[in-house]
Amino acid sequence: MSVSELVRKLAEQYSFEKIPTSFEQLDPGKGIHFFEGVSGSIPIKEFIIYDTLLVLETRISTEASKYILEEILLWGAKDLGLNYKANSINRFGYISDVTFFSDAPLLDVPPAIAKIAARATRELTEIWKEPVKYEPLNYSVGHDPTTRKYGIAPFTIIHRAESRFSENKYFSEAPLPTDIHWEMLEEYEKDILASKKA
């Protein structure tokens, strides 16, 4: 089966609104991109086919994305003759993105960093002749990128873009399944609140 035929059948099966239309867009080395499809009642944001990697993104959870990816592969094996058997993927990689509100000071910092923020606030208020308040912007933990050929995304918590800090709206990304990501954020929030009471 040609790549263009595969693209056509995928577009039909999953109702993708945007599909590759030129020869240059059919290069698995650069990724063959499909956008805005649907599987049953689950919307698919993006599906990408690379030489040795498949990427599927939903706005629901990593579990939903994994389910649809396996569904696509099983459908491809049954209807298109692809060489795939259930549960034959050795490893899944995850990226979970969530937006949430919290009344806990999630980006609270040690005294030394608070001192830097306070000094930067004073100095910049003087330089700009208007109030400029510096506060922690994000927390991020990750691995040493020199220890792996292919890096794994860091776990981050940041203020949500285009939201006032006072709204307590946050964005977090983690290389984990969404349920574990939420569990860790809830645990972190409880630990912060407990430390404030102590």
- Condensed to tens digits (0 to 9), the pLDDT of residues 72-86 reads 999 999 999 888 888
Residue 160 pLDDT > 90, yes or no? Answer: yes
Model pLDDT, residue 188: 95
CA dihedral angle for residue 66, residue 184, residue 138, residue 166, rounded to 10 degrees = 110
- In the three-class reduction of DSSP (H, G, I as helix; E, B as strand; rest coil), residue 99 is classed as strand
- Condensed to tens digits (0 to 9), the pLDDT of residues 165-182 reads 999 999 999 999 999 999
Model pLDDT, residue 4: 85
> Do residues 39 and 54 make contact, with C-beta atoms less than 8 angstroms apart?
no
Q: Parallel, antiparallel, or unpaired: how do β-strands 42-49 and 138-141 relate?
A: unpaired
Residue 8 pLDDT > 80, yes or no? Answer: yes
Q: What predicted TM-score, i.e. pTM, was given to this entire model?
A: 0.85
Rounded CA-CA distance 45/34 in Å is: 8
Model pLDDT, residue 15: 96
Write out 125-170 in H/E/C secondary structure.
HHHHCCCCCCCCCEEEECCCHHHCCCCCCCEEEEECCCCCHHHCEE
Residue 1 pLDDT > 80, yes or no? Answer: no
Model pLDDT, residue 97: 96
Q: Which helix (H) or strand (E) holds 7?
A: helix 3-14
- Condensed to tens digits (0 to 9), the pLDDT of residues 28-78 reads 889 999 999 999 999 999 999 998 899 999 999 999 999 999 999 999 999
